[in-house]
Amino acid sequence: MSTRERRAPAAAALLFFALMLAAAAGAAAGGAVLLLPEQVWTAGEPVHRGWAVLTDGARIAAVGPAAQVHAPAGAQVIELRGATLLPGLMDIHSHLFLHPYNETLWNDQVLKEPVPYRTLRAGVQARATLMAGFTTLRDLGTEGADYADVSLRQAIEDGLVEGPRLFIATRAIVATGSYGPAPRGLRPDVCCTPQGAQEASGVPEVIRAVREQAGRGADWIKVYADYRWGPGGTQQPTFSEEELRALVETAHSSGRPVAAHATTAEGMRRATLAGVDTIEHGFDGTPEVFRLMAEHGVAYLPTLTAEEAYGEYFEHYARGTRPPTPGMARAAQAFRYARAAHVIIGCGSDVGVFAHGTNYRELEWMVRLGMTAVEALTAATATDAKILKREADLGRAREKMLADLVAVGGDPTTDITAIEHVVLVMKDGVVYRRP
């Protein structure tokens, strides 16, 4: 048995006890709670100074001037001096079953870390995310951890694990031979190694994969419209337009949206014409393809922080002291093209490539590249809720909406870095963090 194998049970036990301690600490029971911040940002109006928010159970009961918001007898009162209250933040491109590649390379996570260990780690990482003020995640693939996200979602819903509400994609769908761990890196007679996603070729197999993942509990279907499978590892489209259309039609007929990993202009074009709902990354997108996305109402999740993390791990990039890497420059240009084309842009960071609980870095990058702080906050609240098709009850601080709320020190509408300083987290009316 290797040293790593001997350490895995001990590490898993530590993670288990961390989860149990978190559960023992417990979140405040959901009841009437009166929140008294310095100001409230509703994700639809300017900041309101002197406003209060009353929650009752899982929903917001009242929002308005503090003198007009009357709490029932026995309500819990939480004063948030100097803080801004806003809707819970969202990151809708995440990977709770991954951790930073400067800790363990992706191949080693998939091939060497047992699924139970990865699941326990995902629970700890879910809690770190919630405590950082991100109350909703769309998790886009378990990356070789099979359908463990279904169990994690259920554990969070049942209160066994503290974490954000999850929208899950189970196993992504990839073209045969195009994803990893890549067969070209192994002996030809090696078989049955874990794969980071579900392989499919041809329309019948693609349809079968969608139905299988839907049957397993996926909320979204994720497909890789391109990947590094070309000569020399170049990015090339994977599925044909016919295959992508069949995938999207099957997913939509089941009531599930489709997210497409696409970094090349051709992969983005095919995915857009096939009718996907979101495109992830889009680093080599052209003005023309972003205009096509805007015409078709396809949303864009730019994952800017992931590209920065790759630069730090593999290209000696250092924040503040070295210029952006070529990959970072391409990602920044794509973001500008998308803004110029008026594409719907949400907040999706690809967290897991970098540390969970630091999702705020994506919003800071969006501001650095031209968004106002309010635009970035809107992307991570109301826009993400719309992309998730949950704008009726998530993403804004309004009466009757779900009581997912976060308070941060300072004013994030003028200084986006204020979102690093979380003082209160509430999800479904339950207080998980407070001053």
Look at residue 29 in the predicted model and tell me its pLDDT.
56
Check whether residue 243 and residue 256 sit in a common domain: yes
Torsion of CA 422, 423, 426, 427, to 10 degrees: 20
For residue range 345-378, list pLDDT tens digits in order.
999 999 999 999 999 999 999 999 999 999 999 9
Check whether residue 368 and residue 405 sit in a common domain: no
**Angle at CA 148, nearest 5°, toward 145 and 153?**
140
Question: CA 112 → CA 8, 35, 95, 106, 144, distances in Å?
Answer: 10, 46, 18, 10, 11
What order of strands is seen across the sheet that includes strand 134-139?
Answer: 89-94, 134-139, 165-168
For the chain, what is the mean pLDDT?
Answer: 93
**Where do we find the tokens 């007009």?**
68
Which one-letter amino acid corresponds to residue 16? Answer: F
For residue range 101-134, list pLDDT tens digits in order.
999 999 999 999 999 999 999 999 999 999 999 9
Q: Is residue 26 part of a domain?
A: no
Check whether residue 160 and residue 63 sit in a common domain: no
Q: Which residue has the higher pLDDT, 187 or 158?
A: 158
Q: Is residue 12 part of a domain?
A: no
Q: Check whether the bond before 181 is cis (ω within 30° of 0).
A: yes
Check whether residue 71 and residue 148 sit in a common domain: no
pLDDT band for position 420 (cuts 50, 70, 90): very high
Q: In angstroms, how far is the first alpha carbon of the chain from the final one?
A: 46
For residue range 34-54, list pLDDT tens digits in order.
999 999 999 988 999 999 999
Percentage above 70 pLDDT, the chain: 91
Cβ-based neighbours of 138, under 8 Å, separated by 6 or more: 90, 91, 92, 93, 94, 166, 167, 168, 169, 219, 220, 259, 348, 388
Q: Is residue 14 part of a domain?
A: no
Look at residue 28 in the predicted model and tell me its pLDDT.
55
Check whether residue 290 and residue 325 sit in a common domain: yes
Check whether residue 313 and residue 383 sit in a common domain: yes
- What residues make up the domain containing 67? 32-87+396-433
Give dist(CA 88, CA 405) in Å, integer: 4
Question: Which among 48, 46, 39, 44 is positioned nearest to 401, based on CA atoms?
Answer: 44
Question: Which among 194, 191, 170 is positioned nearest to 180, based on CA atoms?
Answer: 194
- 396 φ/ψ angles, rounded to the nearest 5 degrees: -140, 155
Domain end, chosen from 369, 387, 405, is at: 387
Question: CA 268 → CA 43, 190, 283, 296, 346, distances in Å?
Answer: 30, 33, 10, 12, 17
pLDDT average, residue stretch 145-167: 97
Give dist(CA 85, CA 62) in Å, integer: 14
Cβ-based neighbours of 51, under 8 Å, separated by 6 or more: 37, 39, 40, 63, 64, 65, 66, 69
Q: Is residue 424 part of a domain?
A: yes
For residue range 273-306, list pLDDT tens digits in order.
999 999 999 999 999 999 999 999 999 999 999 9
Question: Which among 287, 305, 293 is positioned nearest to 380, based on CA atoms?
Answer: 305
Look at residue 203 in the predicted model and tell me its pLDDT.
98
For residue range 332-346, list pLDDT tens digits in order.
999 999 999 999 999
For residue range 231-264, list pLDDT tens digits in order.
888 989 999 999 999 999 999 999 999 999 999 9
Check whether residue 74 and residue 100 sit in a common domain: no
What is the b/e burial string over 272-294, where b = at least 16 CB atoms within 10 angstroms of the residue's CB?
bebbbbbbbbbbbbbeebbbbbb
Check whether residue 286 and residue 245 sit in a common domain: yes
pLDDT average, residue stretch 408-412: 98
CATH number at residue 57: 2.30.40.10
**Where do we find the tokens 């109006």?**
45
Q: Is residue 19 part of a domain?
A: no
Check whether residue 226 and residue 187 sit in a common domain: yes
Look at residue 229 in the predicted model and tell me its pLDDT.
87
Look at residue 323 in the predicted model and tell me its pLDDT.
94
CATH number at residue 270: 3.20.20.140
- DSSP per residue, 188-250: TT------SSEEE-HHHHHHHHHHHHHHHT-SSEEEESEES-SGGG--EE-S-HHHHHHHHHH
Q: Is residue 6 part of a domain?
A: no
Q: Is residue 417 part of a domain?
A: yes
pLDDT band for position 188 (cuts 50, 70, 90): confident
Look at residue 19 in the predicted model and tell me its pLDDT.
47
Q: Is residue 79 part of a domain?
A: yes
- Model pTM? 0.92
Check whether residue 305 and residue 409 sit in a common domain: no
| Exposed/middle/buried for residue 81 (C-beta within 10 Å: 0-12, 13-18, 19+) | exposed
**Where do we find the tokens 């800071």?**
364
pLDDT band for position 4 (cuts 50, 70, 90): very low
Question: CA 336 → CA 259, 339, 383, distances in Å?
Answer: 21, 5, 18
Check whether residue 272 and residue 372 sit in a common domain: yes
Q: What is the DSSP letter of 351?
A: B
User: CA torsion sign, 317 to 320 to 322 to 324?
Assistant: positive
Token reading at 80: 């948030």
Give dist(CA 86, CA 404) in Å, integer: 9
For residue range 197-236, list pLDDT tens digits in order.
999 999 999 999 999 999 999 999 999 999 988 888 898 9
Check whether residue 317 and residue 402 sit in a common domain: no
Domains held by the chain: number: 2
Domain end, chosen from 366, 387, 408, is at: 387
